[in-house]
Amino acid sequence: MTEIDREEFDLALLEAGFTIAAEKGWPRFTLVEAAQRAGLPIDEVRARFPFRHSLLFRLGRLADESAFRDDGLSGSVRERVFDLFMRRFDVFQQYREGIRAVLQALPTEPGLTLLLGAATLDTMRWMAEVAGVECSGLGGLMRLNGLAGVWGFALRAWEKDETADLSQTMAALDQGLDKAERFGVLKPSPDRLMDQASQRTGIADHPLELET
């Protein structure tokens, strides 16, 4: 199976799986039914998705890939975090009702809650490093947890957001980032500070020519 084939395979299973979750609820979702609905070989689904939670982790990776794609991410640390989070929500929006079914099931599935919490914290570390947040030491760990809190706050808003442009989600994210900024969660890393200083001062492309 080529890389393109694997991507198409995964997308087909994601579409079928989250549609079923939306219809029946996450507790009644099975990968076998998702494979059958998507018209995919069950043995290959078993090989690529050994557990039903694997579908959620694949969605997370897909959202991360979209967020981290290099297509002009710029601005302050806050602006970069905002853009990265919204890129993830843009992917989530494609599977909205299925994801909402998963979120509704979390209170009855503590094991899944722990797994997703760990995966979210890992994503926050990547997000922080891409955005230029200082992640070292105990302070860095606290900032990662702060970012996770902002994500959770925005995710709860997204779950209820019925607007076409996700304006309520963006407003909640802005609110969360305001609080994060006040508590030092968005502290820039030394490398990010150097980049910002370079952008402010500018670097000459050519040496100055002395008049003779």
Residue-wise pLDDT tens digits, 33-45: 999 999 999 999 9
Question: 204 vs 194, which has greater pLDDT?
Answer: 194
The stretch 155-166 carries a mean pLDDT of 97
Residue 41's SS3 state is coil
Instruction: Determine what percent of the chain is predicted with pLDDT higher than 70.
Output: 92
d(CA 82, CA 79) in angstroms, rounded, equals 5
Q: What is the pLDDT of residues 74-133, one digit of tens each?
A: 889 999 999 999 999 999 999 999 999 999 999 999 999 999 999 999 999 999 999 999
Mean pLDDT for the chain?
A: 92
Could you give the domains of the chain? 3-194 (1.10.357.10)
Measured between alpha carbons, how far is 105 from 110 in angstroms, rounded to an integer? 9
pLDDT at 204 (0 to 100): 42
Distances 63 to 60, 84, 163, 184, 189 between C-alpha atoms, Å: 5, 10, 20, 26, 24
Weakest mean pLDDT among 21-25, 68-72, 182-186: 68-72
Model pLDDT, residue 191: 83
Largest CA distance in the chain: 82
Residue 46 pLDDT grade (very low, low, confident, very high; cuts 50, 70, 90): very high
Summarize the confidence of residues 26-53 as an average pLDDT.
97
